[in-house]
């Protein structure tokens, strides 16, 4: 069953009992509560933000007159903003595939029965559960050149002292962030894929095994198509979350050195939270939403076409 097929609506069977009225309205009834809550909390703030983005509200000014696209024009002149978007793109492009790959490998490792699996799985979820703030702070301590074990371990492996200033040296800041991020979120992919793999049709797999199909063949022909819907959504969700990455970077580098690791959410935070540029922040937010919508739509369209 493909995503697009389901999107185009499956057949409905006329029930033999219960009023047709209720049945007919059921799809809408069960959608309603969720949508209601989303509207409540999603609509007003967005409209408010949109209006504000056309005003000039800053820390000290409360100018609610319409200033047109002033804030948006400024977006294009803001080099720091575009640098932030670039940094975000880099991190997302590197971390997402890594998380997917590692998560998949881990899921393959644990999908079949083995005694003690319960414990392994529960333990492996821990990194995701730890607050990102603490994860970032812990890795910072671990990367520390004097108090941290990473330097020791690397020195041991290399056979000579390894002295890397992970959070200061521009060459190593991104690896540090990606390591921490992938460490924390691969278990997410792992768990999701585990659930998806467990739903793969057993009988098909057994049939393939009897036929003597190679592992890779089985993977490509049976497993991947079956888990594709879940993988797609997982990547989408995780991708969107990566774009909003904040806590880990804040704890590791606070966007430094300089502004080198400043992602879009850090920049927005500094603008909106520390410096109260309410209107400008609103404009940035809509730019981000627009970009993300564009990317997501493109990606979804390509997924549809691939079917």
Partner 1 sequence: MKFRTILGAAAVLALAGASAPAADKDAADIAVDAAKKYAGTTISIVWEAGLQSLDPLNYSGPQWEKLTGIKVKVIEVPTDQMFTKIMQDFKSGAGAYDALNVIPSWMPDLARAGALEPLDKYVDKFGYRDELQDIAAAYRDNQMQYDGKIFGFPDDGDVMLLYYRKDIFEDPKVKEEFKAKFGYELAPPKDWKQFDEIGQFITDKMAPKVYGAGFFRTAPYPQYMFQERFRMEGGKFFNADTMKATVNGDVGLKVFKEMKAENKFMPPGVEQWNFVDNLAAFLQGTTAMTISWPPYGRWAAGYGSGEEALKWVPKSQVAGKVGYALTPLGRPELGVGFDLSVSATSKNKEAAYLFIQWLNSKKTSLERVQLPYTLRDPFRLSHYASEKYRGLWPDAPAYLDTIKTSGEKGLLDLSLLQQDKYDEAMTKAISSLWAGEDPKAILDRMAQQFDAITDKVGIDNQKAVYKVWAAKPGAYPQ
Partner 2 sequence: MRVGKLPARKARILALRYLGAGVVTLLFLFPVYWLFMISFKTPDEIYHVPPLWIPGQIQFSNYYVLFKDGDVLAILNSLIVAGASSGIAIVLGTLCAYSLARFGTGGENLAMWIISQRMIPPIAVVFPIFLIYVYFGLVDGYFGLILIYTAFNLPYVIWMMRGYIVDVPLELEESALVDGLNRWEVIWKIVFPMVRAGLMATSVFTFVFAWNDFLFALVLTRTEVITFPVMLTHYFGGQSNFWGKIAAMSVLGTLPIFVAVSVMQRYLVRGISLGAVKG
By CB under 8 A, the residues from 34 to 93 that bind partner 2 are 34-35, 37-38, 40-42, 44-46, 48-49
Decide: 205 and 224 in contact? Cβ < 8 Å. no
**Which three-class secondary structure string do you get for 133-187?**
HHHHHHHHHHHCCCCCHHHHHHHHHHCCCCCCCCCCCHHHHHHHHHHHHHHHHHH
Residues 221-260 that bind partner 2 (CB under 8 A): 226, 229-230, 232-234, 236-237, 240-241, 243-244, 247
Residues 164-183 that bind partner 1 (CB under 8 A): 165, 167-170
Question: What is the chain's alpha carbon radius of gyration, rounded to the nearest angstrom?
Answer: 24
Q: Is 167 in the site for partner 2 (CB under 8 A)?
A: no
Structure tokens, 85: 């978007």
Find which of partner 1, partner 2, none residue 172 binds, CB within 5 to 8 Å per kind: none
Find which of partner 1, partner 2, none residue 258 binds, CB within 5 to 8 Å per kind: partner 1
> What does the alpha-carbon distance between residue 260 and residue 249 come to, in Å, rounded to a whole number?
11
Choice from 84, 85, 91, 194 touching partner 2 (CB under 8 A)? 194
Burial of 167 (0-12, 13-18, 19+ CB in 10 A): buried
Find which of partner 2, partner 1, none residue 177 binds, CB within 5 to 8 Å per kind: none
> What does the alpha-carbon distance between residue 65 and residue 53 come to, in Å, rounded to a whole number?
11
Find which of partner 1, partner 2, none residue 289 binds, CB within 5 to 8 Å per kind: partner 2
Q: Least distance from C-beta 170 to partner 1, angstroms?
A: 5
Find which of partner 2, partner 1, none residue 7 binds, CB within 5 to 8 Å per kind: partner 2
Q: Is 270 in the site for partner 1 (CB under 8 A)?
A: yes
Q: Which stretch binds partner 2 (CB under 8 A): 82-90, 108-116, 166-174, 210-218?
A: 108-116
Angle ∠(54,58,64) on CA atoms, nearest 5: 45
Residues 125-144 that bind partner 2 (CB under 8 A): 125-135, 137-139, 141-142
Interface mask toward partner 1 for 213-252; x: CB under 8 A: ----------------------------------------
| Cis-peptide into 257, omega within 30 deg | yes
Choice from 257, 292, 299, 303 touching partner 1 (CB under 8 A)? 257
Decide: 208 and 218 in contact? Cβ < 8 Å. yes
Decide: 260 and 83 in contact? Cβ < 8 Å. no
Interface mask toward partner 1 for 103-142; x: CB under 8 A: ----------------------------------------
Encode burial over 271-282: b for 16+ CB neighbours within 10 A, e otherwise: bbeeeebbbbbb
Residues found near partner 1 in the complex (CB under 8 A): 59-60, 144-146, 163, 165, 167-170, 254-260, 270, 273-276
């Amino acid at each position: 069953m493909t995503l697009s097929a389901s999107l185009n609506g499956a057949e409905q069977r006329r029930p033999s009992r219960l009023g047709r009225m209720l049945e007919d309205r059921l799809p809408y009834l069960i959608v309603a509560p969720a949508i209601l809550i989303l509207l409540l909390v999603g609509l007003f703030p967005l409209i408010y933000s949109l209006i504000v983005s056309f005003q000039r509200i800053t820390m000290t000014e409360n100018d609610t007159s319409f200033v047109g696209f002033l804030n948006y024009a400024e977006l294009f002149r803001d080099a720091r903003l575009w640098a932030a978007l670039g940094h975000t793109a880099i991190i997302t492009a590197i971390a997402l595939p890594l998380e997917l790959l590692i998560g998949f490998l881990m899921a393959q490792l644990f999908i079949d029965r083995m005694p003690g699996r319960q414990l392994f799985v529960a333990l492996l979820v821990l990194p995701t559960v730890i607050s990102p703030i603490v994860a970032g702070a812990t890795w910072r301590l671990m990367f520390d050149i004097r108090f941290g074990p990473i330097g020791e371990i690397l020195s041991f492996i290399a056979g000579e002292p390894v002295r890397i200033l992970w959070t200061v040296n521009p060459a190593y800041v991104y690896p540090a962030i990606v390591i921490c991020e992938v460490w924390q979120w691969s278990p997410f992919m792992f768990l999701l894929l585990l659930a998806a793999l467990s739903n793969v049709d057993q009988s098909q797999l057994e049939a393939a095994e009897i036929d003597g199909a190679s592992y890779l063949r089985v993977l490509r022909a049976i497993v991947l198509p079956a888990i594709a819907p879940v993988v797609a959504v997982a990547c989408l969700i995780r991708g969107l979350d990566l774009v909003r990455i904040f806590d880990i970077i804040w704890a590791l580098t606070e966007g430094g050195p300089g502004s080198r690791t400043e992602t879009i959410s850090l920049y927005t935070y500094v603008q909106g939270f520390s410096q109260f540029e309410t209107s400008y922040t609103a404009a940035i937010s809509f730019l981000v939403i627009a970009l993300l919508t564009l990317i997501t739509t493109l990606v979804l369209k390509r997924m549809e076409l691939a079917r």
